[in-house]
Amino acid sequence: MNFLSTFVTFKSLHEVWRLCHWGPVIALSVIAICSTMAMLDSIIWYWPLDTTGGSINFIMLLNWTVLILYNYFNAMFVGPGYIPLGWKPENQHDIQYLQYCRVCQGYKAPRSHHCRKCNRCVMKMDHHCPWINNCCGHVNHAYFTSFLLLAPLGCLHAAIIFVMTMYTQLYERISFGWSTVKIDMSAVRQFQPLMPFSMPAFAATLFALGLALGTTIAVGMLFFIQMKVILRNKTSIESWIEEKAKDRIQHYQTGEEFIFPYDLGTRFLNFKQVFTWSGTPKGDGIEWPVHPKCHQHTLTIEQLKQKADKRVRSQVQYRAVEDYNGACCPLGKGVQTFFRTPCTEEPRIPLSKGDTILATRGTKWWMYGDKVLNEDQMIAGERIRGWFPRRCVEKCHYDTASSESTSDKKLN
């Protein structure tokens, strides 16, 4: 157990159950298939271990696999870091600048957000990643980003092995109509393969090549997206908050100047906030170094302004005219509703005829919003929000003043 703890850290056996989710199952399956096939192709058909180059190649493949799994499991089991339940700032005066989380029964520290999947307020939350079945946040941001870098590099190496294996084993068997082209393959024919390159072997190699190339492109793009925000000392959520701040200022013509408070001025300083030699990010996840013109609550004050603005501009009241059971892809709500379901892990909310919903956003076929609850549910701190088919609701015609009163009561 001590040996394992040097590689992967998890606080309790409950954390192991994070593996029982479609995201880790698919991710680990891709890693296993690509690494196993690359090693088998190298040893059996392409570059045997009794050569210097083959040995180095095999060690590199093992190295990629170990590094990828090390960062993957640490991103999953170390976790993002959570705000303590019932947390309050030391200075009670600062409470006015913070949002209160009813689920965690405490205040949200600067840069923290509540994750409905983890059911906790996460330090410097970037997003909830289904592939690690955990949030990416303050503590595991470096592990997660390192995984996004190493996975494409390892898959690119494996893809080269797959291509060269098929090329060296099939060049004599397949005619491309190039009768005048003669390729000298004597260099790669200096050894006898351990077994024939059969059709199943070709199919497995071709399948692994598709996985490797797809992973290289998809995960590589995610790496560049992450590095873009890290070099500005932001998270994906904070980038969105900054965009909304500019939109709010432009809409109301307030003349304010919004300065993102956590950008330290240079990419290198921002980079060092996440990546350190010890592997532990700087800071305690609650207080942060800020721009000279800002303070600890610059961003939280902007969030409160946006929340108030959202009540005025975004929420429209709808009434349910059809029952909806909360299915992800409802069969009885039309073909377009079925195929255009939002590609997100955000919940769907069941509706009964007559329910009232405050919608905040939507697409042509789906809407997202909060269900208006009764007084007992509101006192208990319940909140039901999620997606529902647009065809199940109709816009209410109601008095604006009473609407704003209802909305304030719901969200305060």
In this model, does residue 233 exceed pLDDT 80? yes
Quick check: 122 pLDDT over 70?
yes
User: Is 182 a residue whose pLDDT tops 60?
Assistant: no
Least confident of 19-33, 152-166, 216-230, 354-368: 354-368
- State the catalytic residues: 129
| pLDDT-derived band at 402, boundaries 50, 70, 90 | very low
pLDDT score at 14: 66
Structure tokens that stand for 84 in this block = 């303590």
Helices 22-41, 199-230: crossing angle, 10 deg rounding? 120
pLDDT of residue 271: 96
Separation of alpha carbons 343 and 217, rounded Å: 20
The mean pLDDT value for 150-179 works out to 80
How many C-beta neighbours within 10 Å does residue 38 have?
30
Q: What is the pLDDT of residues 374-392, one digit of tens each?
A: 877 777 777 888 999 999 9
How far apart CA 143 and CA 74 sit, in angstroms, is 6
pLDDT number for residue 190: 55
Q: What is the mean pLDDT of residues 101-114?
A: 94
Q: What is the 3-state secondary structure (H, E, C) of 190-250?
A: CCCCCCCCCHHHHHHHHHHHHHHHHHHHHHHHHHHHHHHHHCCCCCHHHHHHHHHHHHHHH
pLDDT of residue 83: 96
pLDDT score of 360 = 82
What's the pLDDT at 405? 44
How many CB atoms are closer than 10 A to CB 280? 10
Which two structure tokens, joined as six digits, stand for 305? 């302004």
Q: Would you state the pLDDT for residue 255? A: 86
Look at residue 295 in the predicted model and tell me its pLDDT: 93
For residues 136 and 127, is the Cβ–Cβ distance under 8 A?
yes
Phi, psi of 190 (to 5 degrees): -80, -5
Most confident of 1-15, 85-99, 310-324: 85-99
| Residue 296, pLDDT above cutoff 90 | yes
Predicted local confidence at residue 24, as pLDDT: 96
Judged against a pLDDT cut of 70, whether residue 22 lies above it is answered with yes
Sign for the CA dihedral angle at 232, 81, 218, 6 comes to positive
What pLDDT, on the 0 to 100 scale, is given for residue 373?
85
- Distance from chain centroid for Cα 204: 29
pLDDT of residue 110: 96
pTM for this one? 0.79
pLDDT of 221 higher than 80: yes
Q: Pick the closest to residue 299 from 233, 364, 350 (CA basis).
A: 233
Q: What is the Cα 147 distance to its own chain's centre?
A: 12
Rounded distance between C-alpha atoms, residue 315 and residue 116, angstroms: 21
Of the candidate ranges 2-16, 155-169, 214-228, 233-247, the one whose mean pLDDT is the lowest = 2-16
Q: What is the mean pLDDT of the chain?
A: 86
* Angle, CA of 382, 386 and 387, to the nearest 5°: 155
Higher confidence at residue 83 or residue 184? 83
**15 has a pLDDT exceeding 80:** no
**Quick one: pLDDT band at residue 74, thresholds 50, 70, 90?**
very high
Q: Of 98-112, 130-144, 171-185, 204-218, where does mean pLDDT reach its minimum?
A: 171-185
pLDDT (average), residues 311-324 = 83
Q: Which of 5-19, 28-42, 398-412 has the lowest mean pLDDT?
A: 398-412
Q: What is the mean pLDDT of residues 314-323?
A: 85
Structural domains in the chain, CATH included, are: 13-79+138-232 (no CATH), 82-122+235-312 (no CATH), 316-395 (2.30.30.40)
